[in-house]
Amino acid sequence: MTGLPASLRFSSAHYTLTFLAIFVLASLFSAMTFADEPPQTFRLNVSPNGYPPYLIVDQAAPSGIMWDVFSLIAGRIGYTVEAVKIPRKRVDELLFEGYFDGTPRAVEWTKHPEDFVFTAPIVTVEEVFFVPRGSDLTYDQPEDLFGKTIVTPLGYYYPVLQPHFESGAIKRFEVPRDRDMFTFARHNERFDAIVAERRLGQWLLRNLGLRDEFVSLPKNLTHFGYRIMVRKEFADFIEPFNKELRHIQENGELDAILANYR
């Protein structure tokens, strides 16, 4: 049997080797491009004044329970985190319009939760009443507050109390900065109680040197899961985030972060 001419055998082998070389180089280039691809950026709202100990913004870099947990998980699933400070009353509007990507939030604190997607709860938050030490005020139901004046953060919505705020049965005094709630109540006897998230209130009292002047009432007003509320364009972010959240809940990393802020 007569084989192919040497020139044809050489040409065929040459083209085969060339094709393989191109394929290998293309594969290497693709892998290098993927490896060098920068992580996506997630713009997380930390608010202008923060929400300690969940969000602390009065230092060189953000910190706090929610920031630390979110940054840890986001880094592991391929994101860098950029802090943005959005005024409280414009958060939902600007998140919906895509000016940033997510904000710490409970579903129950959101007027239109259907407009967004939410991660699994990172921690549990509970809003309670703080009263001056020695106060005889107790709380079991909203009627216990009739005729009283309650200090609250500006713009917060309390479904249980809202009808009574609107009717005037309970008076409300709103304060723009969380840290000012206790100083207002301390210097004005017409304020009977403060509504604040328990950890937030304890943090503020400790840092303001007022721990001996206020106590929290035992019955909470609300008890919710604190999550990250995300614009719908980032819906694919939720599943890997929740998976890594379960991991740090199980291996003790979440508890270690919480311990840093007790």
User: In sequence order, which residues have a C-beta less than 8 Å from that of residue 44 and are 6 or more positions away?
Assistant: 67, 70, 81, 82, 83, 84, 100, 101, 102, 103, 104, 228
Of the CA atoms within 13 Å of residue 57, those in its CB half-sphere come to 14
Q: How many residues does the chain have?
A: 262
pTM of the model: 0.77
4-21: string of b/e by CB count within 10 Å (b at 16+)? eeeeeeeeeeeeeeeeee
Using the predicted structure, report yes or no on whether residue 27 has a pLDDT greater than 50.
no
Q: Do 40-124+225-259 and 125-223 agree at the fold level? A: yes
CA distance 233 to 241: 15
243 three-state secondary structure: helix
Could you tell me which CATH class the domain 40-124+225-259 is placed in?
alpha beta
Instruction: Summarize pLDDT for 184-207 with one digit per residue, the tens.
Output: 898 888 999 999 999 999 999 999
Instruction: Summarize pLDDT for 77-126 with one digit per residue, the tens.
Output: 999 999 999 998 899 999 999 999 999 999 988 989 999 999 999 999 99
- Reported as type and span, the H/E element at residue 117 is strand 116-118
User: In sequence order, which residues have a C-beta less than 8 Å from that of residue 177 and are 6 or more positions away?
Assistant: 49
Domain ranges of the chain: 40-124+225-259, 125-223
Q: Tell me which architecture the domain covering 125-223 has in CATH.
A: 3-Layer(aba) Sandwich (3.40)
88: exposed, middle or buried (Cβ count in 10 Å: 0-12, 13-18, 19+): middle
Query: What are 227's two structure tokens?
Result: 């999550």
Q: What is residue 58's predicted lDDT score, i.e. its pLDDT?
A: 85
Rg (CA), the chain: 27
Using the predicted structure, report yes or no on whether residue 45 has a pLDDT greater than 90.
yes
Q: What is the mean pLDDT of the chain?
A: 87
Using the predicted structure, report yes or no on whether residue 25 has a pLDDT greater than 60.
no
pLDDT band at residue 179 using 50, 70 and 90 as cut-offs: confident
pLDDT, mean of residues 52-61: 92
